[in-house]
Structure 1
Amino acid sequence: MDLSYFDVVDATWPPAKITCNGPWLIREGQGGGKRVSAVSATCEVSAEDIPQALAAQDALHQPHLFMLRPVDQALDQMLDDQGYQVVDPVHLYTVEPSTVAQAHIPPVTTFESETPLAIARELWAEGGIGPERIAVMERAAGPKTFLLGRTDDRAAGCAFVAIHNGIAMLHALEVITAHRGKGLGRYLMYAAAKWAHRNGAKELTLLVTRRNVPANALYTSLGMLVVGQYHYRLKEA
């Protein structure tokens, strides 16, 4: 897996603050979820280095959460030996935007905005994406857009896309439960690809948990390929 994808993750879904503490990259999430509050290693570490990461998380009042990439096999085993459990294995998908951007979107189905609309905030809140995660989107510095999707004559879905180093990454795709299975998620993906292509992105990428079977099926049907994975480890208090 190309580790530069993780730079795209941090740039398009940015923590409130990132600091280096010894061999550790410490993300300050401020309630924005696992992706912005997990610790990751910047080099090879030993078991003696782990307490330093735990102390940094304690100082931020965050759980003892580690992100494990394919290059972190030794650390993964150390944490397993210490009783840390695997949480949320994730797939990273990619596709060339132009291959998806050619698809037709029915009129008045998707819309772009420079800031999250009030109705999008409501839809995200219904899906469990609250103000802390909205703040993550607002922190992203590169080209970005907020997508709103409509079906059955009402707003029913939304997503966020941002670009870093020529790679667009989609986050927080949400279609409210009552309107799933009607193709709106696919249309939002089309809209994301069109925006990414128009803004010069060479790839459209996204992250999704392996257990999300419908989402994985959608992305595969769009010709997206899995190019990487990671998971978290967490020890319950």
Structure 2
Amino acid sequence: MSLDWAQVVDGTWPAARYERLGPFLLREGQGGGSRVSAASRIGEVTEADIDAAEAAMQAMGQKRIFCLRPGDEALDAQLAARGYEVLDPVNIYACPVEQLTDIPIPRVTVFTLWEPLAIMREIWAQAGIGPERLAVMDRAKGPKTGLLLRHRDKPGGTGFVAIHDGVAMVHALEILPHQRRQGLGKWAMRGAAFWALDNGAQTLSVICTKANEGANALYRSLGMENVGEYHYRQLV
């Protein structure tokens, strides 16, 4: 799949503000996490360019953090030499939406709705996804929905899905600890696929940290393909 995954991420999980500064695209995250706060390379970089980007991020009240994708090896080495540490390497998984709409979802297992219900906000809050990340969801411009998962007539988890350029991306998928190992992650992805199909998307995708062995196993078990990766470097 020859998609620009950086644009899909920005389109479905957008920063509050973007600013081009020399060879960097800066993101103002307003507390929404690394994904909406990291600078990314869009041109050839000098040490002075890094200095300027660092100063701009600090002026925003943010940490000095860069997102490194394939092709950014030279910048990766420059940042390593400055003492930047690797943070949260991730995989990007994707598949055609029809791949996960081949079997029906059990009744009252996955509900799609926007705005989020109070119980969805509570589940996200328990997982550390607070108002700043909910604001990221609010900023998404394209079609979007929340996922409310239920198991045995009780809330089981929640998630967020948004579409950019024909690609639906799942974010903030959280299953309550006592509801795990019940197949809810699988049904969440299938529910997202049905919603994506109904809303004109051709591809379903999700981002997962490489350290999350359970989630990586889930996406592979669904036949999703690893289509990309990136990591951050942050100056602590």
* CA distance in structure 2 between the partners assigned to 1:134 and 1:155 by the alignment: 19
Which digits, 9 at most, give the CA deviation of each residue in 1:65-94, with x for residues without a partner? Answer: 000000111000101111111110010100
The residue correspondences of 1:18-29 to structure 2 (distance < 5 A) are 18-29=18-29
* CA distance in structure 2 between the partners assigned to 1:205 and 1:145 by the alignment: 14
**Structure 2 unaligned regions, length at least 5:** none
The residue correspondences of 1:48-87 to structure 2 (distance < 5 A) are 48-87=48-87
Of the structure 1 ranges 77-86 and 101-110, higher mean CA displacement relative to structure 2 is found in 101-110
Per the TM alignment, residue 2 of structure 1 is displaced from its structure 2 partner at its CA by: 4.5
Per the TM alignment, residue 101 of structure 1 is displaced from its structure 2 partner at its CA by: 1.2
Which digits, 9 at most, give the CA deviation of each residue in 1:101-142, with x for residues without a partner? Answer: 122311111111121111100011111111111110011000
* CA distance in structure 1 between the partners assigned to 2:3 and 2:43 by the alignment: 13
Q: Report what 1:182 is aligned to.
A: 182
Q: Report what 1:156 is aligned to.
A: 156
Q: Report what 1:40 is aligned to.
A: 40
Secondary structure of 1:71's match? coil
Q: Report what 2:145 is aligned to.
A: 145
Aligned partner of 2:138: which letter? E
Percent identity, please: 53
TM-score by length of 2: 0.97
Of the structure 1 ranges 34-43 and 98-107, higher mean CA displacement relative to structure 2 is found in 98-107
* CA distance in structure 1 between the partners assigned to 2:217 and 2:138 by the alignment: 29
Q: Provide runs of 4+ in structure 1 moved above 2 Å.
A: none
Which digits, 9 at most, give the CA deviation of each residue in 1:15-52, with x for residues without a partner? Answer: 01111112111100011010000011111112221111
* CA distance in structure 2 between the partners assigned to 1:8 and 1:58 by the alignment: 26
Q: Report what 2:12 is aligned to.
A: 12
The residue correspondences of 1:68-217 to structure 2 (distance < 5 A) are 68-217=68-217
Per the TM alignment, residue 64 of structure 1 is displaced from its structure 2 partner at its CA by: 0.5
* CA distance in structure 2 between the partners assigned to 1:189 and 1:165 by the alignment: 19
* CA distance in structure 2 between the partners assigned to 1:226 and 1:110 by the alignment: 25
Aligned partner of 2:128: which letter? G
Root-mean-square deviation over aligned CA pairs: 1.1
* CA distance in structure 2 between the partners assigned to 1:39 and 1:65 by the alignment: 6
* CA distance in structure 1 between the partners assigned to 2:113 and 2:130 by the alignment: 19
Q: Report what 1:218 is aligned to.
A: 218
**Structure 1 unaligned regions, length at least 5:** none
Aligned partner of 1:78: which letter? Q
* CA distance in structure 2 between the partners assigned to 1:37 and 1:52 by the alignment: 16
Aligned partner of 2:144: which letter? K
Secondary structure of 1:107's match? coil
TM-score by length of 1: 0.97
Aligned partner of 2:124: which letter? W
* CA distance in structure 2 between the partners assigned to 1:9 and 1:157 by the alignment: 22
* CA distance in structure 2 between the partners assigned to 1:66 and 1:151 by the alignment: 39
Per the TM alignment, residue 234 of structure 1 is displaced from its structure 2 partner at its CA by: 0.8
* CA distance in structure 1 between the partners assigned to 2:134 and 2:74 by the alignment: 35
* CA distance in structure 1 between the partners assigned to 2:126 and 2:101 by the alignment: 28
* CA distance in structure 1 between the partners assigned to 2:227 and 2:215 by the alignment: 16
Secondary structure of 1:174's match? strand
Aligned partner of 1:186: which letter? K
